[in-house]
Amino acid sequence: MKGIYKAYMQAINTLYSSGEAREESYYPALKDFLESSFEDFISITSQPKKNIAGTPDFLIKDKNQKLIGYIEAKHLEEKDLYGIAETEQLKRYRESLPNLILTNFLEFHLYRDGNLIDTVRLTDAKSLFIEEKMPRSIKNLEAVKLLLEKFISFSIPSITTSKVLAIELAKRTRLLQFVISEELKNGNADLKGFLEAFKDNLMPSLTEDKFSDMYSQTITYGLFSSRMKFNNTLVSPLIKGGKGGFSEQRFSRLTAYQSTPSTIPFLKRLFYFITGPNLPQSIEWIADDIASVLENTDIKAIHKELHTERWIDDPVIHFYETFLSVYNPSEREKLGVYYTPPPVVSFIVKSINKLLKDKFGKVDGLADSSVIILEPASGTMTFPTLAIKLIKSERNIQPLSDDYIKFIRFAQWKIEKTGKGIVGFITNNSYLSGLIHRGMRKRLFSSFDEIYILNLHGSSRTGEKPPDGIVDENVFNIQQGVAIGLFLKI
- pLDDT band, residue 54 (cuts 50/70/90): low
Please give the span between the terminal C-alpha atoms of the chain, in angstroms, as a whole number. 96
What single-letter DSSP state applies at residue 111? E
Confidence check: pLDDT of 296 > 60? yes
Q: What is the mean pLDDT of residues 59-71?
A: 85
Find the helix packing angle between 208-228 and 315-327, rounded to 10°: 140
Residue by residue, DSSP assigns 117-141 as: EEEEE---TTHHHH-SS-SS-HHHH
**Alpha-carbon span 167 to 481, nearest angstrom:** 50
Contacts 24+ apart (CB under 8 A), 278-281: 278/190, 279/190, 280/52, 280/53, 280/179, 280/183, 280/188, 280/190, 280/191, 281/47, 281/49, 281/52, 281/55
Among 108-112, 288-292, 404-408, the range scoring the smallest mean pLDDT is 404-408
* pLDDT attached to residue 160: 92
Domain boundaries, the chain: 2-152, 162-237+248-334, 342-395, 403-489
* pLDDT attached to residue 203: 77
Locate the DSSP E strands across 12-132: 42-46, 58-62, 67-73, 99-103, 107-112, 115-121
What single-letter DSSP state applies at residue 250? P
- pLDDT band, residue 241 (cuts 50/70/90): very low
Q: What is the mean pLDDT of residues 482-487?
A: 91
What single-letter DSSP state applies at residue 367? G
CB 159 within 8 A of CB 298: yes
> What order do you get walking across the sheet with 115-121 strand by strand?
42-46, 58-62, 67-73, 99-103, 107-112, 115-121
CB 429 within 8 A of CB 457: yes
162: exposed, middle or buried (Cβ count in 10 Å: 0-12, 13-18, 19+): buried
Please give the share of the chain, as a percent, with pLDDT higher than 90.
20
List the one residue out of 216, 300, 218, 290 whose CA is nearest residue 253: 290
Q: What is the pLDDT of residues 73-88, one digit of tens each?
A: 998 888 899 999 999 9
Q: What is the pLDDT of residues 222-237, one digit of tens each?
A: 888 888 877 654 344 4
Among 207-216, 253-262, 309-318, 403-412, the range scoring the smallest mean pLDDT is 309-318
b/e per residue, 179-189, with b = 16+ CB within 10 A?
A: bbbbbbeeebe
* pLDDT attached to residue 394: 65
SS3 state at 259: helix
Q: What is the pLDDT of residues 123-174, one digit of tens each?
A: 766 665 544 444 444 557 788 889 999 999 888 778 999 999 999 999 999 9
How many residues does this entry show for the chain? 490
Q: What is the pLDDT of residues 335-379, one digit of tens each?
A: 555 566 677 778 888 899 889 989 998 888 888 878 887 665 555
**Alpha-carbon span 424 to 393, nearest angstrom:** 31
Q: Which residues pair with 365 in a beta bridge?
A: none
List the one residue out of 113, 318, 313 whose CA is nearest residue 224: 318
**Alpha-carbon span 179 to 288, nearest angstrom:** 14
435: exposed, middle or buried (Cβ count in 10 Å: 0-12, 13-18, 19+): middle
**Alpha-carbon span 263 to 324, nearest angstrom:** 27
Find the helix packing angle between 315-327 and 299-310, rounded to 10°: 90
What CATH fold (topology level) applies to the domain 2-152? tt1808, chain A (3.90.1570)
Q: How many other C-beta atoms can be found within 10 angstroms of the C-beta atom of residue 384?
A: 14
